[in-house]
Structure 1
Amino acid sequence: MDNSGVRIDKFLWAVRLFKTRSLAAEACKKGRVTISKLPVKSSRMVKTGDLIDIRVPPITRTYKVLDVAEKRMGAKLTPGFIEDVTPPDQIEMLELARMASSAQRNKGLGRPTKKDRRDIERLQEGDWDF
């Protein structure tokens, strides 16, 4: 494609960072998408070399635009158009969040019993006997 630029909502959808173009536009509207640390509107043009930050709580992912595209592509083609340059500390934060959520109780198990509650309290206080 030519190097003139593409709307950011269209580009984010084309490289499969958002499932629909509407979701990409909504993320821009809510200020979750930035270029050069400035929030952008969905009509902002993206050019090769731009660094795009997308805030996906609890982290902010950073992508470098290698080439622009308007049409949605297969997942195997996206590495030629965009590169994930998210800092390692952000990836580490994501892993910590995943570990914290796995410590929670599984859905569908109902409320903890008294024994479960006591065990949880002992574990949190550090009085767990192995």
Structure 2
Amino acid sequence: MPLHLIKLCVGCDSISDLEEWIEENRAHYRRLGRDFEQTHTTRMVPKRVDELLEGGSLFWVIKGQVAARQRLLDIRPFTDGEGIGRCHLVLEPKVVPVEPRPYRPFQGWRYLAVKDAPRDIDGKADDLARMPEDMRRQLAELGLI
């Protein structure tokens, strides 16, 4: 059964901020003539890699709410130039909005069971998808969604 990770998206104020950051990195790679691969570097290496790569995602907490996810493609441990063990989380560059849910700040990442993960907002059939992100955020803060 798949397993997910959850992490704070530090520096992003919205899903569109995250998407813009991804596109800026894609453009940077293009200018360098390199193939684009989106990675996020973490200090700790997950122990449950097999479960995470069975369809797991990285869920992003943006401004105190779980707001979006990206599918995990690979997990690559490495040692940086200072001899510190780190990990690249390789992510699908597509950002999928999820039902907003409050989440308190925390350090690093946490495992997130499938049963506890917010569901995707379906852009075709979901009223939440047609709602502006700020409005979804405010309604979630009020406990209305």
- Structure (1/2) with the larger strand percentage: 2
TM-score, reference length from structure 2: 0.26
* Greater RCO, CA 8 A, separation 6+: 2
TM-score, reference length from structure 1: 0.28
Task: Report the structure number with the largest CA radius of gyration.
Answer: 1
- Structure (1/2) with the larger helix percentage: 1
